[in-house]
Amino acid sequence: MLKPVFDEKKDHYSGLATACVELVEYGDFQCQHCGEVYPLIKLVQEEMGDSLRFVFRHYPQPVLHRLSLDASVAAETAALQGKFWHMHDIIFENQKYLSRSRFLQFAEEIDLDTRAYEDNREHKKMIQKVINDFESGVRSGVEGTPTFFINGRRYNGFHDPDDLIRACKDLLHMELAATQYSPF
């Protein structure tokens, strides 16, 4: 089970906070599999619309991917200026070309105040958010990336977007049926 559950104030999410279906990804920005699943997640989001809340939690693995922690910190720093998802997307879309200097270029490309970005990037608060996400992944049983949870339950079929969409839609139908059923 997912630990902790969704927290609107702490989690980065796309979609409505009140959506019936929640898809949580523990991801590593430099993980090849996370990069491969990135467009699939976009497809699921498009297909599910307002019925889906997508949550991204950091699970960097710097021993395997030397820039993964830097990438997570870059996304958190962008979040201070309201552009977490912009940085998230640009990192995944340029995953094969990552370097420490590219993160500043990305900040410029997504119109961040680069001076503030540079000043905040080394702040302990940025790293602590990444550590908190990582630790929540450990408590949830995450061992690698990407790892997904749908409404708090681990989902293992991430390689097939049709199966993922079907699993989300099935859950949506069950949620809707449960709210419409009344024994009185």
Mean pLDDT by 10 residues, the chain (184 residues): 92 96 97 94 92 97 96 97 98 96 97 95 91 97 94 82 80 75 50
In sequence order, the 6+-apart residues with CB closer than 8 A to the CB of 29 are 60, 65, 67, 68, 71, 72, 75, 88, 91, 92, 95, 98
CATH code at position 117: 3.40.30.10
Residue 5 located in a structural domain: no
Query: Domain residues for 61?
Result: 12-180
Note the pLDDT of residue 106: 98
Q: What is the pTM of this model?
A: 0.92
Residue 4 located in a structural domain: no
Phi, psi of 22 (to 5 degrees): -120, 125
Residue 1 located in a structural domain: no
Note the pLDDT of residue 184: 47
C-alpha–C-alpha distance, residues 41 and 56, integer Å: 11
Note the pLDDT of residue 130: 97
Contact, 37 vs 176, CB < 8 A? no
Residue 7 located in a structural domain: no
Note the pLDDT of residue 157: 73
Domains in the chain: how many in total?
Answer: 1
Q: List the one residue out of 22, 65, 43, 60 whose CA is nearest residue 146.
A: 60
C-alpha–C-alpha distance, residues 173 and 178, integer Å: 8
Residue range 61-115, pLDDT digits in tens: 999 999 999 999 999 999 999 999 999 999 999 999 999 999 999 999 999 999 9
Residue 128 located in a structural domain: yes
In sequence order, the 6+-apart residues with CB closer than 8 A to the CB of 145 are 26, 27, 28, 31, 33, 34, 59, 61
